[in-house]
Amino acid sequence: MKSGAYSKIGKLKIWEIVKLTRTLPFSKIRAHSPTPKLVLIGSFGAGNVGDELILAGFLQKIRKELPKAKVVVLAGNPKLVRRFHGVDALPMLPTGLRSFWKMNWWRSLQKIRTADAIIFPGGGLFSDEESWQAVFLWGLHILVARYFWKPVYLLGQSVGPFEKKWTRKFTRFCLAKTEWIGVRDAASEAELTRSGIPARKIRSGRDTALWLIARLPKMREVKKRGVLKVLVSVRDFPKIEPRFWHELARALDLLTEKKHARIFFAEFGAGDRTVWQKVRRRTKNSATWKTLALPESAEEILRAVKKFDLVIGMRLHSLIAAQLTGVPAVGLNYSRKIGEFTDKALSIKNFKKEQLLKSLS
């Protein structure tokens, strides 16, 4: 279900939208132990706001459904996870000699060995659009968990696209060993079906960051008068043509001139600031543009986003944060997951500066 159908889902509770609560492993885990040991694995503590929203949403659900659960998170930066989420965190398993010889992963292996369930709370983990190493990293954790005969559950996943045959085959090999896979878009479900994953293992759902609130707010209209406060999220990505950054800068100039927009940039992911500077160098109004420092907690991030009149986002979770707060949003579709999330997305291919303004009318 895309955000174009927002009016149909705005009055429903998140569990009704996601359709996962009845099939989540909570009851099975609870029956196994009154104080289950859960290991959560994902790209957490790595400077990506979206991943932190995913983890925050899932932890909120866990604390409600399994209040006595003992949770540990395997993360890229355990210190940040402990600080942001107040939960025990350890390093991920090593995939290279340098990380192997640190030997700080031994406790992580022991946590997997003694866990009642291994859960990947969400994200676009299995795709080689940016790097094949990520596919290998997450697959390794699944295989180690299954070596110890631990049930593995995936939630809120985007699967694919794949550019290499071996990454698709490796993903299929690993995911076939899981209990089930919750996907957040139809394209991922189709990818799993084509790969031969049994239908009984696939669950259609949504991003787990949507669990942060119990009810979606009513979507606001784009302001027609007065100053328009605009939050912009950009990111780097392979194969983006330099022409796009020029057109985006001119589009934001038009927005400033025609809509009296005040432009703010927010760094939703590591490296976004460098890309933003690339955009600023191409604009006439950069002197008036400002940078918003996003807070650390999910609640404060949503409170900050709610103050804006419009979100223009390349980062998926800038758009999800907008939906969670009822702020109108326009996606910049650089990857399949953006178009899968919202109907109101502009393709970065052949992007023209006039398109952004037209999308608001």
pLDDT in the model for residue 104:
85
**Letter for the amino acid at 224?**
K
Start-end of H helices in 182-328:
186-194, 242-259, 272-280, 298-305, 316-325
Q: Cα(153)–Cα(262) distance, rounded to whole angstroms? A: 43
**What is the reported pLDDT for 70?**
95
Give the pLDDT band of residue 166 (cuts 50, 70, 90): very high
- The answer, yes or no, to whether residue 21 has pLDDT greater than 80, is no
Which 8-state DSSP code applies to residue 152?
Answer: E
Mean predicted confidence (pLDDT) in 38-45:
97
227 φ, ψ to 5°?
-75, 135
Characterize 38-55 residue by residue with b for buried, 16 or more Cβ atoms within 10 angstroms of its Cβ, and e for exposed. bbbbbbbbebbbbbbbbb
Q: Is the pLDDT of residue 29 over 80?
A: no
Q: Among 34-38, 100-104, 283-287, which is the least confidently predicted range?
A: 100-104
Q: Are 54 and 209 in contact (CB under 8 A)?
A: yes
Report the range of poorest mean pLDDT among 101-105, 176-180, 244-248. Answer: 101-105
Peptide linkage before 238 cis (omega within 30 of 0): no
* Chain segment 248-278, per-residue pLDDT in tens: 999 999 999 999 999 999 999 999 999 999 9
* Domains (range + CATH), the chain: 3-212 (3.40.50.11930), 228-359 (3.40.50.2000)
- For the chain, what percent of residues have pLDDT higher than 70? 91
Provide the pLDDT for residue 103: 80
Q: Assess contact for 52 and 61: CB atoms under 8 A.
A: no
pLDDT at 25: 64
Q: What mean pLDDT is predicted for residues 39-66? A: 95
pLDDT at 27: 66
Cα Rg, the chain, nearest whole Å = 20
Of 18-27, 262-271, 303-312, 318-327, give the lowest mean pLDDT range: 18-27
Mean pLDDT of 352-357: 95
pLDDT of residue 96: 81
State the Cα–Cα distance between residues 134 and 287, nearest whole angstrom.
Answer: 38
User: Residue 11 above 70 pLDDT?
Assistant: no
Lowest-confidence pick of 82-91, 200-209, 241-250, 313-322:
200-209
- The Cα–Cα gap between 41 and 296 comes to 20
Q: Where is average pLDDT lowest: 147-156, 159-168, 283-292?
A: 283-292
pLDDT tier at 31, thresholds 50, 70, 90: low
The pLDDT of residue 214 is: 79
The span from the CA of 96 to the CA of 132, in Å, is: 14
Spatial CA neighbour of 2 closest among 258, 299, 344: 344
